[in-house]
Amino acid sequence: MNIPLRAIRRATLDDLPALIPLWQLEQLPVLELEKRFKEFQVAEGEDGSLIGVVGVQVQGLEARLHSEVFSPFEYADALRGKFWERIRVMGENQGWVRVWTQLHAEAWRGCGFDPAPLEQLAKLPDSFGHSGNGTWYVVQLKEERVGSPSLDAEFQMLKMSYQAENDQLMKRARKLRLLAMGFAAAVTVWVLIWGYKLFQNRDAWMRR
Residue-level pLDDT at 152: 57
Percent of the chain scored above 70 by pLDDT? 83
On the question of pLDDT at 184 being above 60, the answer is yes
On the question of pLDDT at 169 being above 60, the answer is yes
In this prediction the pTM is: 0.68
Stretch (H or E) spanning 110:
helix 106-110
Q: What is the pLDDT of residues 82-127, one digit of tens each?
A: 999 999 999 999 999 999 999 999 999 999 999 999 999 999 999 9
Name which of 65, 56, 77 is nearest 103 in CA terms.
65
Residue-level pLDDT at 30: 97
DSSP secondary structure letter of residue 6 = E
Q: What is the mean pLDDT of residues 182-192?
A: 81
